[in-house]
Structure 1
Amino acid sequence: MPQHDQKSLQGLEDEDRKIAKCPECGSKDICFENEERFCKKCGYVFE
């Protein structure tokens, strides 16, 4: 894998961590399943 792709992937993961808080209930218990991110506490699905 070319280095710039790895760096891009890392950047995306960092972005996910920054917004890994549910806007509905404020929980940080976020799951990623079937290419969807959702809050385990209230079920909110991230766009």
Structure 2
Amino acid sequence: MHSRVFPGLWLATSELLAGNMQVVLATLQAGLQSAEYAAFVKQLST
């Protein structure tokens, strides 16, 4: 799942529900390294 409100907030919902936190955290990290997240942070700082 990708948030429409917070770009870069990616959650592996099925893995979260299954308790597979390693995949959940890896997915979150990938979102935080995305170009969408970088643009969002840049927009917040202006």
Q: TM-score, normalised by structure 1?
A: 0.37
- Structure with the bigger percentage of helix: 2
Could you say which structure has the larger radius of gyration? 1
Higher relative contact order (CA 8 A, sep 6+): 2
Q: TM-score, normalised by structure 2?
A: 0.38
